[in-house]
Each structure stands twice: as structure tokens, then as C-alpha cells.
Amino acid sequence: MNQKELGELRRRLRPGKNAISHIYGCYVSPLKQVIAEVDQPMSLLGEDDAESCLALLRKALSGGLGRSLIDIEFSTRQVAEGEEHKLLRELRESRLKNQELRRAFYDKVIQSVDMGEDNYLILLACDSYDVPFRSKNDEGMDDGSETVFTYLACALCPMREGKPGLGYVSAENALHVKTAGRLAAPPEVGFLWPAFDNRAANLYNALYYVRRPELLHG
């Protein structure tokens, strides 16, 4: 992926600009215990709530390519036989609607990451993008669709005391903008799969985000 392709996807992650039907979440304790799972239709989210969710997903597509954003390549064997790649494919094919698949994904993430002493939120969404034609001189795009790019976007956000932001409301089992309590901080890690290479899906690659690249390279 290049910066232009990345910017094209980031612009989609705005209210009214995407085809995301639901925002999914999993609230996790420092002891790797699932506190709650969230499934919220985008159509029922308030404007502030929707923008807060999308802003966190956008943040996981920010930073410099090769530094905060790392291209991850799956081997041919991983694509053909790997359990992780199979799970990603099934999640994408189901548009995240299968709860058992989502739970299997959450379990793998929880066992793979260490978020220290923070509770954290796994934020997950699926978007389908009717990619418009781009002119040969790259000066603009028309309304015709060249292909449909369906992708998963994920962000892992520590829950901390801070400025007003997205928080978990247990009474509603939902995510809402709050002014106090534990709120979602910018994501520490995240990913996009498949990669948007040459403005089409590349199932062999994912884009991995890390907020502090010095820890990744250290």
C-alpha cells in the first residue's frame, strides 16, 4: 500500500462515507477476561458515538508507512493452511455477523497481546468499498465501480481516565461518548486486512499499526 491508497481508505472512515453496518467490540480486563461484548448497529448510533468509533479506527491507519504502519505478508502456506488466515477469511466472508467467529478472533487477540495493567477495548468493523475508476492521469475518479474491496479494520484501545471520549456503558451494554470514567485512549495496535494494494484486495498482506514503533523495532 502507498500513502494515496491509505488516504483513500481513511476518508471512508467518516459517518455517512462507508458501508459499515455494525460496530463490534470486546471489553477486556488486564487479567485477559472478557468483561463484555458489544454489537451496535451503526444506524442506531448517535453522530458523536459513530464519529468516536470511526476516529479510533482511523487512528489505526495513521502514521508513516514502514514505521507506525508495517506491511505484514502471509506465506503461501499460511494462506492455504494457516488457522489465523482461515479465521480472517471467514470473518470477512460473514461480514463479522457470525458471533462464534468473532469470539474466536477475540480469544486469539487476547492471548496474543499484553496491554499491561489497562482494561482495553477491541474495536472491530467490516466495510465494503465500491472502488471508483481512477483516470489514467490520476487526476480524479468517476462514479463507476471497478471492484468491491471488503476489508476488516481493528483497533486495540486502552481504557483510561481522560478527556471526554468513547466509553462502555454497562447498563446498556453499549459504547457511548462519556465525560468521565474509563474512556478509550488512542489505539496501541491495530490492523487492516486485506491490504489495499493497487486499489484492490491483496489477501497475502495485512497492514499492522503500532503506536510506538520504537517498541516494535527495539
What's residue 88's pLDDT? 97
Amino acid, res. 79: V
Q: Is residue 158 very low, low, confident or very high in pLDDT (cuts 50, 70, 90)?
A: very high
What's residue 217's pLDDT? 41
Task: Give dist(CA 55, CA 187) in Å, integer.
Answer: 10
What's residue 214's pLDDT? 59
Mean predicted confidence (pLDDT) in 211-216: 65
Higher pLDDT pick, 163 / 105? 105
Is the pTM higher than 0.95? The answer reads: no
Q: Is residue 143 very low, low, confident or very high in pLDDT (cuts 50, 70, 90)?
A: low
Task: Give dist(CA 40, CA 162) in Å, integer.
Answer: 24
Q: Kindly report whether the peptide bond that precedes residue 164 is cis, defined as omega within 30 degrees of 0.
A: no
Task: Give dist(CA 145, CA 183) in Å, integer.
Answer: 39
Mean predicted confidence (pLDDT) in 128-149: 73
pLDDT at 40 exceeding the cut of 80: yes
What's residue 7's pLDDT? 94
Q: Is residue 21 very low, low, confident or very high in pLDDT (cuts 50, 70, 90)?
A: very high
* Contacts (Cβ under 8 Å, ≥6 apart) of 40: 22, 23, 24, 25, 174, 175
Are 16 and 8 in contact by the 8 Å Cβ rule? The answer is: no
Are 111 and 84 in contact by the 8 Å Cβ rule? The answer is: no
User: Residue 68: which of 178, 213, 215, 218 has the closest Cα?
Assistant: 213
pLDDT at 139 exceeding the cut of 70: no
Q: Is residue 218 very low, low, confident or very high in pLDDT (cuts 50, 70, 90)?
A: very low
Burial 149-173 (b: 16+ CB within 10 A, else e): bebbbbbbbbbeeeeebbbbeeeee
Q: φ, ψ for residue 177 (rounded to 5)?
A: -70, 130
Residue 98 burial (C-beta neighbours within 10 Å; 0-12, 13-18, 19+): middle
- Least confident among 60-69, 85-94, 132-141, 165-174: 132-141
Mean predicted confidence (pLDDT) in 22-36: 95
The pLDDT mean for the chain works out to 90
Q: φ, ψ for residue 178 (rounded to 5)?
A: -130, 165
pLDDT at 199 exceeding the cut of 80: yes
